[in-house]
Amino acid sequence: MRQSSLVVVANRLPIDDSVAPDGACEWRRSPGGLVSALHPLLRHTPATWVGWAGGTGPAPTLPDVDGVRMRTVPLTPDDLRDHYEGFANATLWPLYHDAVEQPQHHRRWWEAYQRVNRRFAETAAEVAEPGAVVWVQDYHLHLVPGLLRALRPDLRIGFFLHVPFPPPELFMQLPRRAELLRGMLGADLVGFQRAQAAHNFAQLVAKVLHLPATDRRIGIDDRVVRIGAFPVSIDTAEMAALAARPDVAARAARLRQDLGRPEHVILSVDRMDYTKGIEQRLKAYSELLVSGHVKVRDTVLVQVAVPSRERVGQYQILRERVEREVGRINGEFGRVGEPAIHYLTQPFDRAELAALYRVADVMAVTPLRDGMNLVAKEYVAARVDDTGALLLSEFAGSAAELPQAYLVNPHDLEGLKEGLLAALHAAPADVRERMRAMRAHLREHDIRAWARSYLSALDQTGALVDRLTTPGDAPVAVPTQPDRSAVRADRRAGG
């Protein structure tokens, strides 16, 4: 068994399988903020990533990805249904996002959550070398820090939550609230996106577990668990370099031509998720078409919505509603060869995403609630000529860092319409000034700065930080693997 001094434990592995245009199989980065954040960071680091490969068969043996070892954790069909689709994505996900959809509670889901968390903890315990740092990610794995500490007290354990951590009124609904809190407290450091989340956590620990807790430290048994805010980010330089590439610029020009050379291109890029405010955005756009404030002849909306968690009922309903609304709007307002909305559900590679960002005069990022939202940051990083207006929800974690965006409350339809019009018609000098300020912020606060601040708090020797935060200069390789058909079939079922 190969062991590593750094182990990342996350439900989702950073690679997804796809079929290249020539029919060959290839792995590519899975869509989603967690992977987008961690993948560039770990590249060329001798770490192990413990995660699920997206299927329900036996765990496939995966090749190393850019030097990072992949260690798969298998899920059975019951685990998939009750852990991933159930407790993680139908109980915790909606609860943590302001209950914008009703969280569901089933005792069977809790059994599966415990079982799968134990499997992840056992796998992490196997692959961690003595004294290693193990960095556990996100809401699928709240119990892993506690389980892992019991198995391997020699480890330094970090936990980071990529999604919002809700206020006590909401979290208190959870039948298993005490166990979840205790599980997280198995870590040495519990990190959140925002200070408010750390505050919520401290309040809950004091209230539910009766432990001494401040917004920075919690005492449990004979240990101190530190807590804090570490807003996650992107590889800003990588996105900027990609967007500046001549082939990407040429692709952006081509896209504009294919879109009919409109005066304004509005872009949205989301996972198909009810937290992203897609329906509210479509409604705002449709009302602007009705009132004549926006005309299809000179403005187009490109909505990229990659399907996600496709077997979860709330996601199926959302997709149907979005597609019906896109069809209605196109039917009513489109013209031959000029749809009002260009609707795309495909996953794109990074260069294509960069080209889309480059072509967008307005980027509409209007989630009802979002832990951070890296799409907003990617857009800013890609605007290498300082143009482009970012329309951003106040309820995205990134709004706290990007106050120069055109901020909107996506629950307020009139406000959303006004924000969209303000972004569409902003004076170029104003747009430029705002974009410059946001770009300057992201140059400093990139993914390496995030890792540095989190890992130096976790591992005070500093060794790990030096290794991880020195930019690698090797090109991004897309590994290929000849036979992964079993994985692909199951991946569709997963997410």
Known catalytic residues are: 162, 370
**What is the rounded CA–CA span in Å between residue 390 and residue 360?**
10
Task: Find which of ligand ADP, ligand G6P, none residue 380 binds, CB within 5 to 8 Å per kind.
Answer: none
The dihedral region occupied by 134, where left means phi > 0, alpha psi between -120 and 50, and beta the remainder, is: beta
Instruction: Please report whether residue 348 would count as binding ligand ADP according to CB under 6 A.
Output: yes
Per-residue x/- marks for ligand ADP, 378-417, CB under 6 A? x---------------------------------------
Position closest to ligand G6P via CB? 32
Residue 296 CB, nearest approach to ligand G6P (Å): 33
Task: Find which of ligand ADP, ligand G6P, none residue 361 binds, CB within 5 to 8 Å per kind.
Answer: none
Whether 398 contacts 301, CB under 8 Å? no
Instruction: Please report whether residue 231 would count as binding ligand ADP according to CB under 6 A.
Output: no
Q: Out of 31, 164, 231, 262, which residue is the one contacting ligand ADP (CB under 6 A)?
A: 31
Residue 268 CB, nearest approach to ligand ADP (Å): 10
- Closer residue to ligand G6P in complex, CB, 79/138: 138
- Closer residue to ligand ADP in complex, CB, 182/251: 251
Task: Find which of ligand G6P, ligand ADP, none residue 304 binds, CB within 5 to 8 Å per kind.
Answer: ligand ADP
Tell me how many residues contact ligand ADP (CB under 6 A): 16
Whether 479 contacts 63, CB under 8 Å? yes
- Closer residue to ligand G6P in complex, CB, 33/191: 33
What angle (nearest 5°) sits at the alpha carbon of residue 365, between those of residues 363 and 370? 155
- Closer residue to ligand ADP in complex, CB, 127/365: 365
**What is the rounded CA–CA span in Å between residue 369 and residue 176?**
23
Q: Pick the closest to residue 359 from 250, 271, 440 (CA basis).
A: 250
- Closer residue to ligand ADP in complex, CB, 138/490: 138
Task: Find which of ligand ADP, ligand G6P, none residue 138 binds, CB within 5 to 8 Å per kind.
Answer: ligand G6P
Q: Out of 46, 57, 347, 415, which residue is the one contacting ligand ADP (CB under 6 A)?
A: 347
Task: Find which of ligand G6P, ligand ADP, none residue 12 binds, CB within 5 to 8 Å per kind.
Answer: ligand G6P
Q: Pick the closest to residue 127 from 63, 200, 202, 71 (CA basis).
A: 71
Residue 29 CB, nearest approach to ligand ADP (Å): 7
Task: Find which of ligand G6P, ligand ADP, none residue 495 binds, CB within 5 to 8 Å per kind.
Answer: ligand G6P
Task: Find which of ligand ADP, ligand G6P, none residue 372 binds, CB within 5 to 8 Å per kind.
Answer: ligand ADP
Q: Give the position of tokens 């954790």.
A: 73
Instruction: Please report whether residue 369 would count as binding ligand ADP according to CB under 6 A.
Output: no
Position closest to ligand ADP via CB? 33
Q: Out of 148, 242, 362, 372, which residue is the one contacting ligand ADP (CB under 6 A)?
A: 372
Instruction: Please report whether residue 281 would count as binding ligand ADP according to CB under 6 A.
Output: no
Residues engaged in binding ligand G6P (CB under 6 A): 11-12, 32-34, 138, 162-163, 308-309, 495
**What is the rounded CA–CA span in Å between residue 402 and residue 480?**
38
Sign for the CA dihedral angle at 80, 82, 88, 94 comes to positive
Neighbours of 9 (CB within 10 A): 30
Residue 52 CB, nearest approach to ligand G6P (Å): 8
- Closer residue to ligand ADP in complex, CB, 209/229: 229
Task: Find which of ligand ADP, ligand G6P, none residue 353 binds, CB within 5 to 8 Å per kind.
Answer: ligand ADP
Of the candidate spans 31-39, 133-141, 182-190, 249-257, the one that interacts with ligand ADP by CB under 6 A turns out to be 31-39
Name every residue whose Cβ is closer than 8 Å to that of residue 360 and which is 6 or more positions away in sequence.
265, 266, 267, 302, 379, 388
Strand partners, 69: 48
Instruction: Please report whether residue 269 would count as binding ligand ADP according to CB under 6 A.
Output: yes
Instruction: Please report whether residue 374 would count as binding ligand ADP according to CB under 6 A.
Output: yes
- Closer residue to ligand ADP in complex, CB, 96/113: 96
Task: Find which of ligand G6P, ligand ADP, none residue 117 binds, CB within 5 to 8 Å per kind.
Answer: none
Residues numbered 283 to 322 that lie near ligand ADP (CB under 6 A) are: 304, 306
In the complex, the residues that contact ligand ADP under the rule CB under 6 A are 31-33, 36, 269, 271, 304, 306, 347-348, 353, 372-375, 378
